[in-house]
């Protein structure tokens, strides 16, 4: 049953969005703000995919200057405060938006790339619980949110706006209709829309009939139960990152594994993450591990998202955000809402056109 409103399968939506992770929910909200009739399909429960598994870092400075993602990340960082202010006003909820910044160990900067010369040195005494292991750098503009709370806010916002949400409804295939628009075959019957957007994260290749070559990249995580302000900053170490939440929880992650759709964490990897966390911040040693999990990032062969037309007019892709979908959700929603409504997005999206990963034969390129 639709979880929000009842809509018959004969109803034609302006847009059907296939998948209700943070990207699908943020885009559905943006489209509903623009006054169009949106249906959001989710084969399970909204916000339970990669978006629930994320650490919640808003790593605005995590991209080399020449990356096509750098302008998007900058714009995302600028948009976040207003995006959250509006959501808070709409829902009365919060998502632990912490504007304390990130500290990166020199070894992490060297391993992951970046430009230490441009990073400010860590302010003295900023994080007394840290083991002094080489220089630390401050990334004052890289903040964090609790992504689970953010998904809850988005869902409440969609419900209050009357967006038609169909949970436990799996999209199976999409077919163009002879007189325009699309029919989406679902586990609960056919649905119709003028336009369709794939927002199905790591599972998009299958329902797009291979048009959108998205690959699942597993990340394992654990949560330690600490006390508030034991750590203040997000910490980037060479082998682990730590994301403190205001409740006292500290998230430690993660891995980059290409293991198909298996979402189970394994004990050996979790132990390695825990050891790396303690090596980085010895004060964490007594803290119990209170939760472990894994999620599937939607990755592509060039690690860039697929934002644009998906092989036919009116058929769109908004997925492939890999390691940065929490950061990029609000800006993706804004830019894609413009694009699918025939407007010019404020930032050029051509570097992310799905067609770049299509071979001359029209089949998706894989690597």
Ligand X SMILES: Cc1cc2nc3c(=O)[nH]c(=O)nc-3n(C[C@H](O)[C@H](O)[C@H](O)COP(=O)(O)OP(=O)(O)OC[C@H]3O[C@@H](n4cnc5c(N)ncnc54)[C@H](O)[C@@H]3O)c2cc1C
Q: Which is nearer to ligand X, 183 or 199 (CB)?
A: 199
Q: What minimum distance in Å lies between the beta carbon of 147 and ligand X?
A: 7
Q: Does position 200 bind ligand X by CB under 6 A?
A: yes
Torsion of CA 351, 35, 198, 65, to 10 degrees: 30
Enumerate the H helices of 54-115 as residue ranges: 69-91, 106-112
Q: Which is nearer to ligand X, 21 or 114 (CB)?
A: 21
Give how many residues touch ligand X by CB under 6 A.
43
Among 16, 17, 18, 280, binds ligand X (CB under 6 A): 18
When the beta carbons of 31 and 282 are compared against ligand X, the nearer one is: 31
Residue 102 binds ligand X (CB under 6 A): no
d(CA 287, CA 300): 36
DSSP assigned state of 358: B
Label residues 204-216 b or e (16+ Cβ within 10 Å = b).
Answer: bbebbeebbbbbb
**43 belongs to the binding site for ligand X (CB under 6 A):** yes
Q: Which is nearer to ligand X, 135 or 272 (CB)?
A: 272
Bridge partners, residue 234, by sequence: 102
Contact pick of 61, 208, 245, 254 for ligand X (by CB under 6 A): 254
* Residue 222, helix vs strand vs coil: strand
Does the protein bind ligand X through residue 208 (CB under 6 A)? no
Q: Which of 21, 101, 330, 354 binds ligand X (CB under 6 A)?
A: 21
Instruction: Kindly state whether residue 44 participates in binding ligand X, applying the rule CB under 6 A.
Output: yes
Instruction: Show the beta-strand stretches assigned E in the chain.
Output: 12-18, 38-41, 57-58, 102-105, 120-121, 136-139, 143-144, 164-166, 171-176, 182-186, 189-198, 215-225, 234-236, 241-244, 249-253, 289-299, 306-312, 315-319
- For residues 22 and 46, what is the distance between their CA atoms, to the nearest angstrom? 9
Among 263, 319, 330, 340, binds ligand X (CB under 6 A): 319
> Residue 251 interacts with ligand X (CB under 6 A)?
no
Which of 39, 101, 114, 201: binder of ligand X (CB under 6 A)? 201
Tell me the backbone φ, ψ of residue 157, rounded to 5 degrees: -60, -45
Nearest-CB residue for ligand X: 21
Report the C-alpha gap between 170 and 148 in whole angstroms: 22
Q: Interhelix angle for 325-340 vs 69-91, to 10°?
A: 90
Told to check if 326 binds ligand X by CB under 6 A, we report yes
The contact mask relative to ligand X for 148-177 (x = CB under 6 A, - = no) is ----------------------xx------
Tell me: does residue 61 bind ligand X (CB under 6 A): no
- Paired residues of 297 in beta bridges: 217
Q: Does 53 participate in binding ligand X (rule CB under 6 A)?
A: yes
Beta carbon nearer to ligand X, 135 or 347: 347
Which residues are near ligand X by CB under 6 A? 18-24, 41-44, 48-51, 53-57, 170-171, 199-203, 207, 219, 221, 253-254, 295, 297-298, 319, 321-327
């Amino acid at each position: 049953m639709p979880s929000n409103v009842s809509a018959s399968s004969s109803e034609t939506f302006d847009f059907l969005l296939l998948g209700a992770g943070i990207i699908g929910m943020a885009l559905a909200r943006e489209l509903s703000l623009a006054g169009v009739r949106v249906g959001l399909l989710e084969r399970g429960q909204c916000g339970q995919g990669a978006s629930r598994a994320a650490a919640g870092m808003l790593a605005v400075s995590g991209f080399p200057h020449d990356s096509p993602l750098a302008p998007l990340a900058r714009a995302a960082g600028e948009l976040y405060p207003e995006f959250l202010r509006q959501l808070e006003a709409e829902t009365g909820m919060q998502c632990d938006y912490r504007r304390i910044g990130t500290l990166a160990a020199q070894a992490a900067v060297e391993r992951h790339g970046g430009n230490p010369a441009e990073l400010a040195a860590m302010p003295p005494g900023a994080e007394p619980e840290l083991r002094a292991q080489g220089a630390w750098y401050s990334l004052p503009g890289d903040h964090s949110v609790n992504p689970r709370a953010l998904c809850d806010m988005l869902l409440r916002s969609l419900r209050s706006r009357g967006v038609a949400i169909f949970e436990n409804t799996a999209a199976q295939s999409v077919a163009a209709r002879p007189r325009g628009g699309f029919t989406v075959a679902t586990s609960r019957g056919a649905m119709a829309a003028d336009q369709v957007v794939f927002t199905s994260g790591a599972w998009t290749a299958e329902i797009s009939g291979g048009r959108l070559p998205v690959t699942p990249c597993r990340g394992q995580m654990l949560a330690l139960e600490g006390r508030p302000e034991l750590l203040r900053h997000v910490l980037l170490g060479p082998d682990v990152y730590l994301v403190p939440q205001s409740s006292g929880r500290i998230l430690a992650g993660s891995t980059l594994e290409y293991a198909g759709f298996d979402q189970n964490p394994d004990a050996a990897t979790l132990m390695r993450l825990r050891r790396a966390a303690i090596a980085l911040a010895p004060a964490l040693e007594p803290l119990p591990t209170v939760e472990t999990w894994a999620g599937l990032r939607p990755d592509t062969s060039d690690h860039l998202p697929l934002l644009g037309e998906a092989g036919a007019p009116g058929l769109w892709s908004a997925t492939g955000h890999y390691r940065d979908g929490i950061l990029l959700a609000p800006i993706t929603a804004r830019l894609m809402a413009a694009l699918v409504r025939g407007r010019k997005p404020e930032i050029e999206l051509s570097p992310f056109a799905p067609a770049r990963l299509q071979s001359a034969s029209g089949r998706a390129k894989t690597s």
